[in-house]
Amino acid sequence: MLPCSSVFAIPGICALMIFILARPQEFIPLLQRVPFLHLFTALAVLGWVIDVRLRRLQPLPVPTLPWVIAFLLWAFIGIAVVAPEKIIERGIELAILFALYGTLAHGVQKFRTFQIVAGTLVTTCLFIAFVCFHQGVSPKQCIAGEYRIGTIDGEPDGRVCETVENCMGPEAEPGKEYRCEHAGLFGTYSVEERVRYRGELQDPNEVALCISAGALSLLIAFALRRRNPLNVLLCAAGVTLVILTVLATKSRGGMVSAMLVPGVYLLRRYRIKGAIVAGSLAVAAIALGGRSGANADVSTQLRYEAWASGLDMFKENPIFGVGAGLFSDHHYLTAHNSLVLTLAELGLVGMMLYVTIIYLTFKTLYIGLTTLAVVPGTAAVRVWGMALMASMSGIVFQSNTLSFAYHSVLWIFLGLVGAWYSAIKHHKPDFEVKFGWRDVSGIVVGCLAFVFLILPVFLKYKGEY
């Protein structure tokens, strides 16, 4: 039994999550003078080392650790082989992901500190949701910039507009292209009237997924943990803000992911009836706010083209792929599917390692919730486990249409599931999640079927292969 909980690792972990997701360094000039992202990464790692040396943490690996190391190492080796000029840039990015995952999974070993980290994530996601919601209800402005397929780079010029024609005329800057979009706080603006944020969350679909996974499910958990009226009211207000913002993103996948959160709870409690109710809610949400018509059809078609290109990349480079983060160097769009992304960029081995990490994450949650379902005094374990199951379900569902394999939101939740395991292990040392040949065989067969049967047949059916 450890004498006290982690102290030094937590501030660095929380600060790292804030600066990765909310990106205050991008809109506060004073913060741009210091590389805070790298600084907080170092502080999180150093804090974990100090806590281990002071015996406040146990250096016990979580089930996904060896597979995460193998995945990131394979990505690094692939870059070194196919694009050595990118090795430093990609190496730093991969190191930050590992530090984020590793310090979360191994630096949080009690549910008291787990709640601190979860609270930080919820607060950050609510901030992002507020900025995006404010953006959606703000007047439209002329956005001047350069626009290419897959890239949107511009800034509001302060002129109010109703249509893009209002942005033309003598006040228009020569050589600039204009759009008429909702302009919000911190220089943010919508795209095709779909709200979005900054940094990794410039895509409306990723905003929807981030706030659904990072706020919606965790707010439900906080409400269940403390059921006093004020806390429940505050959590309900946060849930309302998140749902309204997801609707404002007009993300079809994001709305389904948001509905998966209550759907997981309903499914666990009411089985088939719960699944029917959750499915009905998802259909209703898409009908109310999802994109439809020509733009949605074009988006879907472009996604299929990207999948076909990804399959071609794999066939040309089956071992190491084209290199981590280099899909868009070979196709004008990103993969829009995490399995296709890892297959194209890391080869078949890389995709299998990625699938193994996701599989073990869900298995950890399932084994934990099943094992402790009837154990007295494990209410906190079950509440947070269900919240993580709901979040991961939404993430994995929407990763079928997003390039999410290296996204910080995914790695934050991989780390949080690891932290959940570590906290259980702290109180119940005999808790284990086994990974044997039967698991390996299922993953290998499933991946081979996807690559050589399911994906080619689907693309041929859609006329893209």
Cα distance between residue 326 and residue 331, in whole Å: 9
Query: What pTM does this model have?
Result: 0.91
> Could you tell me where the DSSP H helices lie in 203-251?
204-211, 217-225, 229-249
Helix 229-249 vs helix 204-211: crossing angle, to nearest 10: 160
Query: 207: exposed, middle or buried (C-beta count within 10 Å: 0-12, 13-18, 19+)?
Result: buried
Q: pLDDT-based confidence at 268, cuts 50/70/90?
A: low
Q: What average pLDDT does the segment 392-411 reach?
A: 91
Q: Are 6 and 57 in contact (CB under 8 A)?
A: yes
Residue 280's pLDDT is 61
pLDDT in tens, 300-359: 788 888 899 999 999 999 999 999 989 988 888 888 899 999 999 999 999 999 999 999
39-48, 131-140, 227-236, 400-409 — most confident range: 131-140
Residue 28's pLDDT is 86
Helix (H, G, I), strand (E, B) or coil at 7: coil
Strands 177-182, 151-160: parallel, antiparallel or unpaired by DSSP?
unpaired
Residue 199's pLDDT is 87
pLDDT at 250 over 70: yes
Q: What average pLDDT does the segment 272-278 reach?
A: 57
Mean pLDDT of the chain: 87
pLDDT in tens, 119-157: 999 999 999 999 999 999 999 999 888 765 545 578 888
Q: What average pLDDT does the segment 17-21 reach?
A: 93
**Who contacts 226 (Cβ-Cβ below 8 Å, separation ≥6)?**
none
pLDDT at 232 over 60: yes
Domain locations in the chain as residue ranges: 1-59, 64-135+199-461, 139-183
Cα distance between residue 325 and residue 200, in whole Å: 13
Residue 206's pLDDT is 92
Phi first, then psi, for residue 450 (nearest 5°) are -65, -45
Nearest C-alpha neighbor of 71 from the set 319, 320, 357, 326: 357
Among the ranges given (32-41, 106-115, 294-303, 336-345), the one the predictor scored with the smallest mean pLDDT: 294-303
